[in-house]
Amino acid sequence: MGNVTSNVAARFAFFPPDPPTYDVYREGDGRIIFTGLSADKNVDVHLIDTKGGNKIVATFWKHPYGRFTILYSHGNAADLGQMQDLFIELRAHLRVNIMSYDYSGYGASSGKPSEFNTYHDIEAVYNCLKSEYEIKQEDLILYGQSVGSGPTLHLAARLQRLRAVVLHSAILSGIRVLYPVKMTLWFDIFKNVDKIRNVSCPVLVIHGTNDEIVDWSHGRRLWELSKEKYDPLWVKGGGHCNLETFPDYIKHLRKFVHAMEKRSLAKEKKANLTPTSSLTESMCSKCLRFGRR
């Protein structure tokens, strides 16, 4: 029974578009070309090696004044070729950089999709952000949509200085989408219900009240389990794949990013006002010289 249930969960989790909606190839000068990509000079295309032995495609959408970078893990039955319009909209409205990627076996990424391959994938993309763009945790927002909440919370649970996490139509776990189990089973996949407890940064949950694939109760429970809750967005009448079409979606995200900017600035201001250790030691030595204790 366990193996059967596990296989059912795995089949639910991975439905890459077939055929892929784009391809990539290298020019003679070494540049990576993404077929069908909008004519946009502020997009970098990467082929990244993962610990799983695969090469995955990633795109970095640069905003000239972006303070934060969103690392976006997309949902099921989609690849990067279908996500371009959303990334352009998010970049413009939120004034952020967007790093997006296709899981192993999705789009032009090599390999086969699996739970652990998605973990290797997001780790490799995060390392690229650090090495290629010098992105710090404090300036990084992890965004997981549907199945993408799995790799998102995998990474978020391991990083202690993240700016924030966004969970969009997220799942509690693979099995819980299919069966209302009360405990985590050993063969379950994407055990978000357990990992959310280890996330220390602010968490925004977005979920449609009429989600026909992942019930609204998943988002509500993840929000309840978050250590640092941000006001959730429960999209009335929203389904699983259409939340971006509701006006409140961008409005709420913009408010969230603005709140994170204010928090970041306040922290920087506080740090600048705190005396350095050398200055403090110097002041204390002067106090001792004048007989103060």
- What are the per-10-residue average pLDDT scores of the chain (293 residues)? 52 82 92 84 94 97 96 95 95 98 98 96 98 97 97 98 98 91 89 97 98 96 98 98 97 98 89 58 44 42
Rounded CA gap, 85 and 65, in Å?
Answer: 20
Residue 1: what pLDDT? 47
Residue 36: what pLDDT? 85
| Closest listed residue to residue 181, CA positions, set 208, 212, 218 | 218
Residue carrying structure tokens 């967005």: 233
CB under 8 Å to 87, separation ≥6 — which residues? 59, 61, 72, 98, 100
Residue 281: what pLDDT? 47
Residue 111: what pLDDT? 97
CA-to-CA dists, residue 214 to 14, 185, 224, 238, angstroms? 15, 19, 17, 12
Q: At 165, is the secondary structure helix, strand, or coil?
A: strand
Catalytic residues: 146, 211, 240
Backbone angles phi, psi at 205, to 5 degrees: -110, 130
Instruction: Report pTM.
Output: 0.89
Homologous superfamily (CATH) for 2-289 = Alpha/Beta hydrolase fold, catalytic domain (3.40.50.1820)
Query: In this structure, how many other beta carbons lie within 10 angstroms of the beta carbon of residue 15?
Result: 14
Residue 292: what pLDDT? 42
Residue 108: what pLDDT? 97
